[in-house]
Amino acid sequence: MDRRTFLSTAAGAAVVSVARHAHAAEQTKPKRVGLIGTGWYGKCDLLRLIQVAPVEVVSLCDVNAKNLEEGADIVASRQASKKKPRTYKDYRRMLAEKDLDLVLIATPDHWHALPAIEAMEAGADLYLQKPISVDVVESQAILAAARKLGRVVQIGTQRRSTPHLAEARDRFIREGKLGKIALVEIYCYYHMRFRGNPPDKDPPEYLDWDMYVGPAPMRPYCEMPWRALMEFSNGIVGDMCIHMLDMVRWMMGLGWPKRISSSGGIFVDKQSKANTSDTQTVTFDYDDLTVVWQHRSWGAPPDPKYPWGATFYGDRGTLKASVMSYDFIPQGKGEPVHKDVEYELEQYPEDKTEPRLERHVAPAIRRHMLDWLAAIEKRGRPVADVEEGAISTACCILGNIAAQLGRTLSWDPVKWQVVGDEEANRLLRRPYREPWVHPEPAKYA
């Protein structure tokens, strides 16, 4: 080999070596993260992510300046770099930077679809809180966008990542110890519906009320939680039923129900300004299996140990499951089995002092984040993939529509339409307040 050839070969080898090292550095470079919605659960999700991955939180967005500043301070104290993230009031300005690998969204329900789709269009993979949308067409559009753009989307239905529930599924349902399951009751008896009648007044100076309302119908500001208002949510069905319905679907491998019916209303607390139902039953019909939801925000639960959960009835046994525990009760001979949720307070001591953290849920959120990151690495689908979130969300919304119309709805999952019911189909899409424009699934067909 002459000198010229040697130098040329050596230079080529050096370039390859540098490229390999650069690729390795890129692989270990912390992912850049943004959060839209810095309230209670937005921080719960983001801080669990920080616990399990070497991410760099660079952007936070909220229309509430007080929440935004508090969020920036706690993130700076918890992430490794100790850097304070940039802050934005308008999510569009944050996403216009196009420098985020991961975006988490934990806004009120009516503000899920537009930021979710724009975050995916900006190149980010997504962690989206449930329910994924406030109407059915939004769910369809989010799913279509995720598939068209190739984004990995994890939905915040973390029952799918709850260790004792995965154990209950594998040990009792998959092994057939319940026998034929023909009925599942899912329920919530928490006294969680807002009670009170606060006056309308001017919003606080730290809150941009017009941006908060966004595409929802404009209404006066008053001091009550957004989940108490159907303008911004889908009530207790959209908040609590989706978790348990999604859990049952995951544990039993279920897709769309054939029919959905519902009844309920405001039967007890008629004085409150809240316009969500305080009593409601929704039936999800799977032909030879019926899943029945019930919530009451008054009275006592049938089983004080299971105020929010699911009861699977089989001809060989019964399984009760909740975020706190499970109980297997065999039919006839056999020993009952009980298992409690496992905490991780020693491994993650921040959990002991973090304000408002549901400590029993923190391990599930951490596993949910790790599952999302693993799916991103493989460009695969996470355990709570966007399609699963779309099904569970739409089913709950259809339950509210069935209650509103007072009739059973038959669902066509291919056409995403109620069969033979144009009035119901018109309710699949909520009107948007101008200048906001409703997302269209056809754009991503």
Q: Which residue has the tokens 């690495």?
A: 377
Torsion-angle region of 334 (φ positive above 0: left; ψ -120 to 50: alpha; else: beta) = left
pLDDT in tens, 162-203: 999 999 999 999 999 999 999 999 999 999 999 999 999 999
User: Is 48 in contact with 23 (CB distance < 8 Å)?
Assistant: no
Q: What is the pLDDT of residue 21?
A: 36
Instruction: Please state, in angstroms and as integers, the Cα–Cα distance from residue 305 to each residue in 314, 326, 338, following that order.
Output: 20, 10, 12
CATH number, span 160-444: 3.30.360.10
**CB neighbours of 31 closer than 8 A, spacing ≥ 6?**
53, 55, 56, 101, 102
Of 381, 408, 403, 417, nearest to 140 (Cα)?
Answer: 417
- b/e for 258-285, b at 16 or more Cβ within 10 A? ebbbbebebeebeebebebbbbbbbbbb
Q: How confident is the model at residue 431 (pLDDT cuts 50, 70, 90)?
A: very high
User: Is 378 in contact with 257 (CB distance < 8 Å)?
Assistant: no
User: Is 193 in contact with 227 (CB distance < 8 Å)?
Assistant: no
Q: What is the pLDDT of residue 398?
A: 98
pTM of the model: 0.93
Which of 23-27, 146-150, 386-390 comes out lowest in average pLDDT? 23-27
What mean pLDDT, rounded, does the chain reach? 94
pLDDT in tens, 267-298: 999 999 999 999 999 999 999 999 999 999 99
Say what percent of the chain tops pLDDT 90.
Answer: 93
The pLDDT of residue 391 is above 80: yes
Of 327, 365, 331, nearest to 348 (Cα)?
Answer: 365
DSSP 216-237: SPP----SS-GGG-TTT--HHI
Q: What is the pLDDT of residue 28?
A: 72
* Mean pLDDT computed over 55-84: 98
Q: What is the pLDDT of residue 6?
A: 34
* Mean pLDDT computed over 381-405: 98
Instruction: Enumerate the β-bridge partners of residue 385.
Output: 154
If residue 418 lies in a helix (H) or strand (E), which one and from where to where? strand 417-418
Task: Give the number of other CB atoms < 10 A from CB of residue 399.
Answer: 30
Q: What is the DSSP letter of 239?
A: I
The pLDDT of residue 7 is above 70: no
Pairing of strands 417-418, 409-412: antiparallel
* Mean pLDDT computed over 211-240: 98
Tokens found for residue 383: 């355990």
* Mean pLDDT computed over 352-366: 96
Q: How confident is the model at residue 2 (pLDDT cuts 50, 70, 90)?
A: very low
Q: How confident is the model at residue 4 (pLDDT cuts 50, 70, 90)?
A: very low
Instruction: Enumerate the β-bridge partners of residue 283.
Output: 261, 292
pLDDT in tens, 10-49: 333 333 333 333 333 345 789 999 999 999 999 999 999 9
Residues 368, 369, 375: CA angle, nearest 5 degrees: 90
The counts of H helices and E strands in the chain are 13, 16
**CB neighbours of 14 closer than 8 A, spacing ≥ 6?**
none
Instruction: Please state, in angstroms and as integers, the Cα–Cα distance from residue 177 to each residue in 174, 246, 410, following that order.
Output: 8, 21, 32
Give the separation between CA 292 and CA 299, rounded to whole angstroms: 19
Domain ranges of the chain: 160-444
pLDDT in tens, 87-97: 999 999 999 99
Task: Give the number of other CB atoms < 10 A from CB of residue 79.
Answer: 22
The pLDDT of residue 9 is above 80: no
Q: What is the pLDDT of residue 14?
A: 36
If residue 12 lies in a helix (H) or strand (E), which one and from where to where? helix 3-28
